[in-house]
Amino acid sequence: MAFFKKNKALGDGLSAETMTKGARLIAAAEPKNPVSEQFRTLRTNIDFASVAKGNVKTLLVSSALPSEGKSTITANLAVVYAQQGKRVLLVDADLRRPTVAITFDVTDNHGLTNYLADAHSELGSIIHHTRMDTLDVITSGPVPPNPAELLASARMTTLITQLRDHYDLVIFDVPPFLMVTDAQVLMSRMDGVAIVVSGGRTTKGALQRTSEILKIAEAPVVGFIYNDQDQKKKAGSGYGYGYGYGYGDAK
Ligand SMILES: Nc1ncnc2c1ncn2[C@@H]1O[C@H](COP(=O)(O)OP(=O)(O)O)[C@@H](O)[C@H]1O
Ligand SMILES: [Mg+2]
C-alpha cells in the first residue's frame, strides 16, 4: 500500500487510467483493428509455447514494474480466447491496483478478497458474467490490508484448482513482481506464466532481476510479451504488441 502512495506522490508517470476508466478492450470493440489481430497472434504464440508445458489452463501474466500493460493485455487476451469459443475466466488478482471491475462494468464489487477472507463465502457469488457468452470475471473485491497473505493462503490454492476444473482457461492479472510478493507466491501454482516487457518502461535493472526472480519463484514461463508502449509516442495512437520466447529474452 505504502509503495503506491509513495509513487503517486512522486508523480513518476504511473498511470491510473486503467483503474479509473478500465482497460481499452480493443479486441472486443474493434476486432478488425490491426491491434486486435496482434492480440490474436499473441494468443496463437502462447498456445504454441504452451504445448511443451502440457495443457495450460491457468495462465498468470505479470511484469517487473507497474504500468507496463498487464491489465490491458490480460483483458484483451481474455476477450480473444473467448472469441475462439473457449470458456474463459479473468481473475483480478491485482488486489492493489484493481482494474477488471471497471473494464468489464461489474458494479457489484464482491470479489476475490471477499471469498478468500470468508470461509463461508461461495464461489458462485464472486463469478460475474460479462457481455461475452463464454467470458466470466472475478473482480478483486475491496482492497485488503494483507494482499500477499490472502493470495498465499490455502483457500487460494483450493480456489485455483476449482477454477481450473470449471474453465478452459483461467487468466490471472497480478501486481508487478519486483514490487511486492503477490505475483511470486502465485507463480509456482500456475500451469503457465507470461511476462510483459515494455519497450517504453521496463528498465535494464528490472530485466536483470527478472530471470532471478522467475527462478526463485519456480515460474513455469511460457514466454515474454513485448509491449511497445513507445509506439504510442512515435505513431500517435498506436498500440504495439509482440511476443518473444524463453528466458533468453530477459537476460
Ligand atoms: N502498447 C501500448 N500503447 C500505448 N499505451 C499502452 C500500451 N499498453 C498499455 N498502455 C497504457 O499504459 C497504461 C498502463 O497500462 P496497464 O494495462 O494498466 O498496466 P499495468 O496493469 O501493468 O499496470 C494504461 O493507460 C494503458 O492504456
Ligand atoms: Mg494492472
Over pLDDT 70: what percentage of the chain?
A: 86
Q: Give the other-Cβ count within 10 Å of 233's Cβ.
A: 9
CB of 227 closer than 6 angstroms to any ligand 1 atom: yes
Nearest to 225 by CA among 14, 57, 37, 68: 68
Amino acid at 111: G
pLDDT tens-place string over residues 6-64: 333 333 456 788 999 999 999 999 999 989 999 999 999 999 888 888 889 999 999 99
Nearest residue to 134 (alpha-carbon basis) of 179, 171, 186? 171
pLDDT range class, residue 244, cuts 50, 70, 90: very low
User: With a 6 A CB cut-off, is 113 part of the ligand 1 pocket?
Assistant: no
Find out whether the beta carbon of 181 lies less than 6 Å from any atom of ligand 1: no
pLDDT at 240: 55
pLDDT of residue 68: 93
| pLDDT tens readout for residues 143-173 | 999 999 999 999 999 999 999 999 999 999 9
Is 74's C-beta closer than 6 angstroms to any atom of ligand 1? no
- Whether the Cβ atoms of residue 100 and residue 173 lie closer than 8 Å to each other: yes
The CA 157 to ligand 1 mean position distance, Å, reads: 29
Query: Nearest ligand, CA of residue 179?
Result: 1
CA pseudo-torsion sign 163, 166, 167, 168: positive
Between CA 68 and CA 174 the distance in angstroms is 12
CATH class given for the domain over 33-250: alpha beta
User: What is the number of the ligand closest to the CA of 14?
Assistant: 1
Find out whether the beta carbon of 232 lies less than 6 Å from any atom of ligand 1. Answer: yes
Q: How far is the CA of 174 from the centre of ligand 2 (A)?
A: 7
Tens digits of residue pLDDT in 184-201: 999 999 999 999 999 888
pLDDT of residue 199: 85
Q: Is 68 in the pocket of ligand 1 (CB under 6 A)?
A: yes
